Structure 1
């Protein structure tokens, strides 16, 4: 892991950019926190960048609460190059959604392979993060549901997870949800325009966890209220501290 820059933010949080091979990432910490600190991994999808303001706000809030927080750009996201095939699939998805056409198979062909590529990169990043003296675990995961399910199923170091019930979850990860037994917090936007509500409820049912909580709020896809970030920190406090 090679740190390429660092910036002390006005809330006392230290943001450090890093690279790990081809993987670009950001690590947020509060240097005054007692080391070693627990770690939260933040996953994002939808073509977003790890510097997207909502993600950064979540990361800073958790770091100020005594966590090390890390995000990486998945293949084809943020700073990473997109292939011509990826661009074509994204264009096909936008066209189909505008036309009201079925999109499940397009999502399956795009998100499924992306999960297969991203989870090994997260595990490599986790190895590197846990080798830093200021980070000691335990480890939580927050964000992109499809990647989070696979990561929680295969990575025993993940102790708790918070998922956003938006975005397509491939069939393989819906089956893998039964293998996920760690404590879970699932956030659902009741009026999410692009994600069928019943599908999210069925996914919540499928998880094998004995400790799982569903928070549902009115509003569209990007309307998750800020107090859910605060509740999410309390959830991680219960299971990581």
Structure 2
């Protein structure tokens, strides 16, 4: 991991941009982080829209994490930003757009082609990011995962033992194969669902929540569309991580 820039934000949070095997990323650490007092870490998941486009939302989430005493890190997803495009995913995205514009059902083959290649490539990259960030003396774990794409969160929570809690955003289409993987997830979960999310299959989100194998799992559903998440929902998610990472 090579740091390429750093700045101190107004609230004292240290923001450092980095590259890891040519993958761009950002690490935020609170002022309290030190070699003598390493802090827990939250991985910030996000939709494949590019770090630059998502930055304002990501830094706000990172600053809230820092206020609670946590470091936060994120990376550019495969095929996003300045990373090489994934042709098959781009084609599936175009097929999805045509199906939605025509008002026809979105077939499982489109969902699989859109999501599974992204999950297969992104999860090992998140694990490599964990290796790199946890090697820093001021970051010590435990680790949480927060955000979407929800299928990435499902796979990572199922295969990565260092992730001890996950806050997932139910705002993306889910391949059927992910339901079996969800049964392997046993860490505490906090799932956020926007009830009227126009791009989400509500019933599939409810079925996925039911499939999770976790003994502690909470579904936080609110009225409104994809971008209408109320502020108090973020407060509840922050409380979830405060319980499980401290």
TM range (shorter): over 0.9
- Structure 1 residue corresponding to 2:164, chosen from 156, 159, 163: 159
Normalised by the size of structure 2, how large is the TM-score? 0.93
Q: What is the 5 A alignment of 1:52-67?
A: 52=54, 53-67=56-70
Q: How far did 1:124 drift?
A: 0.7
In 2, the alpha carbon distance for the partners of 1:219 and 1:185 equals 18
The answer to whether structure 1 residue 118 and structure 2 residue 130 are counterparts is: no
More displaced stretch, 157-166 vs 188-197: 188-197
Judged with a 3 Å threshold, the aligned counterparts in structure 2 of structure 1 residues 10 and 232 are, in CA distance, closer, same or farther, namely same
Normalised by the size of structure 1, how large is the TM-score? 0.95
Which segments of 5 or more consecutive residues in structure 2 lack a partner in the other structure?
Answer: none
- Structure 2 residue corresponding to 1:72, chosen from 72, 75, 81: 75
What CA deviation, in whole Å up to 9, does each residue of 1:11-60 have, x standing for no partner? 21111100011211000111234620000001112434265122221122
Contact 2:88 2:113 in 1 (8 A): no
Q: Secondary structure at the match of 1:78?
A: coil
What CA deviation, in whole Å up to 9, does each residue of 1:100-147 have, x standing for no partner? 122242121121111000000111110011100000000000011100
1:240 is matched with 245
The answer to whether structure 1 residue 207 and structure 2 residue 196 are counterparts is: no
- Structure 2 residue corresponding to 1:99, chosen from 91, 102, 105: 102
Contact 2:33 2:139 in 1 (8 A): no
Judged with a 3 Å threshold, the aligned counterparts in structure 2 of structure 1 residues 49 and 101 are, in CA distance, closer, same or farther, namely farther
Contact 2:89 2:115 in 1 (8 A): no
1:19 is matched with 19
RMSD: 1.5
Q: What is the 5 A alignment of 1:83-232?
A: 83-103=86-106, 104-144=108-148, 145-232=150-237
Which segments of 5 or more consecutive residues in structure 1 lack a partner in the other structure?
Answer: none
Contact 1:26 1:50 in 2 (8 A): no
In 1, the alpha carbon distance for the partners of 2:86 and 2:194 equals 31
Q: Secondary structure at the match of 2:109?
A: helix
In 1, the alpha carbon distance for the partners of 2:96 and 2:42 equals 31
